[in-house]
Amino acid sequence: MHIYSRLLDHPLALDARIAIYRREAAGYRIPHWGSHTYAAQYVSRWRMKNGEEILFRPIRPEDEPLMVEFHKTLSEQSVYLRYRRPESLRTRIAHERLIRRCCIDSSEGMALVAVLTDPDTGQHEILAIGRLSNMPTGRKAEMAVLVSDSYQRLGLGTELVRRLIQVARDEDMEEIIANFLPENFGMRALANRFGFQLRTSSDPTALTAVLNLTDADARDITRRYAGRHLCV
Ligand SMILES: CC(C)(COP(=O)(O)OP(=O)(O)OC[C@H]1O[C@@H](n2cnc3c(N)ncnc32)[C@H](O)[C@@H]1OP(=O)(O)O)[C@@H](O)C(=O)NCCC(=O)NCCS
């Protein structure tokens, strides 16, 4: 059982989880609860194209209220493009759903959020989230990215994808897969930018883009976008 209690001054059990693994589960898929510390290597500041500084970091259980606010900022179009169907705000911010989405462990993948802090009030706002979900077979992960409408076209999508590719590499993944609608030109551009190859999908309404991480060319492409706006 894993009880999340990461608020330093006021430990708070938000939820509890029990994970049961098959005896033959590969070692890398089983989280080491005791040693599963906050993935500090994925925390760093970065500057958007508008000059504002944000923090990229892994999502945390206590982000649930921020995720509720984030979902309120999304247009129907962005939601449709992300989930490939309409998804009501009520469904997206349901506690049962969000607590699972905010509590990620390394056996499931990784979710990074981009957080803006108001210098006057100290209030935090999640501007974007990128998620890698490990697939049940093979060393493959599915990637999804979602950027708040007012902060699109500021480089967040590109930087999230770049960072998720790094996470996948660190986890020894061999492939990243992204499924999106053919009319999703933003995601098509991102996939193209990082050298994803389009493949036919079992779902005729979606495109599947695949990045083979064992390919040396893919490594060069991510380097090209490395740290363009990094602020320490
Ligand atoms: C797709 C998405 C993640 C892109 O995020 P972003 O922060 O706007 O991306 P960037 O600012 O890094 O833009 C990267 C490039 O994508 C292209 N692009 C982004 N949005 C675009 C759009 N709406 N139409 C056409 N091209 C677009 C541009 O070429 C852009 O580069 P440029 O601004 O230098 O010209 C964002 O639009 C989004 O969240 N969409 C809704 C959810 C979604 O579709 N998620 C993907 C499903 S897996």
Ligand 1 centroid–CA 46 distance in Å is: 18
Bigger pLDDT: 187 vs 232: 187
Phi, psi of 114 (to 5 degrees): -105, 120
* Closest protein CA for atom 48 of ligand 1: 144
Distance from Cα 212 to the centre of ligand 1, integer Å: 21
Phi–psi pair at 42, nearest 5 degrees: -100, 15
Does residue 20 lie within any of the structural domains? no
What's residue 35's pLDDT? 36
- pLDDT per position as a tens digit, 149-206: 999 999 999 999 999 999 999 999 999 999 999 999 999 999 999 999 999 778 888 9
d(CA 71, CA 148): 8
Residue 12 lies in a domain: no
Q: Which residues contact 9 (CB under 8 A, 6 or more apart)?
A: none
Query: Which atom of ligand 1 is nearest to 143's Cα?
Result: 48
CATH number at residue 208: 3.40.630.30
Is 104 within 8 Å of 39 (Cβ atoms)?
Answer: no
Ligand 1 atom 6, closest CA: 157
How many angstroms does the Cα of residue 189 sit away from the middle of ligand 1? Answer: 7
Task: Look at residue 73 and tell me if it is in a domain.
Answer: yes
pLDDT tier at 1 (50, 70, 90 boundaries)?
Answer: very low
Average pLDDT over residues 114-123: 97
Cα–Cα distance for residue pair 158/114, rounded to 1 Å: 12
d(CA 159, CA 180): 18
| pLDDT score of 230 | 45
Residue range of the domain that includes 213: 39-224
Asked if 165 and 213 touch (Cβ cutoff 8 Å), the reply is yes
Say how many domains are in the chain: 1
pLDDT above 90 as % of the chain? 69
Place of tokens 């993944």: 173
Q: Is residue 5 part of a domain?
A: no
What tens digit of pLDDT does each residue of 32-61 get?
Answer: 433 345 688 999 999 999 999 999 999 999
Task: Please compute the mean of the pLDDT values over residues 98-125 and round it to a whole number.
Answer: 94
pLDDT of residue 225 exceeding 90, the answer is: no
- Is 155 in contact with 120 (CB distance < 8 Å)? no
Dig out the tokens for 159 from the structure: 């930087």
Quick one: pLDDT at residue 2?
45
Could you tell me if residue 167 is inside a domain?
yes
Domain membership flag for residue 6: no
When computed from its CA atoms, the radius of gyration of the chain, rounded to whole angstroms, is 18
Classify residue 31: in a domain, yes or no.
Answer: no
- Name which of 40, 74, 216 is nearest 145 in CA terms: 74
Mean pLDDT of the chain: 85
Residue 32, domain member (yes or no): no
pTM of the prediction? Answer: 0.85
The pLDDT assigned to 200 comes to 79
Distance from residue 37's CA to the centre of ligand 1 (Å):
32
**How many other C-beta atoms lie within 10 A of the C-beta of residue 161?**
24
Q: Evaluate if residue 215 carries a pLDDT over 90.
A: no
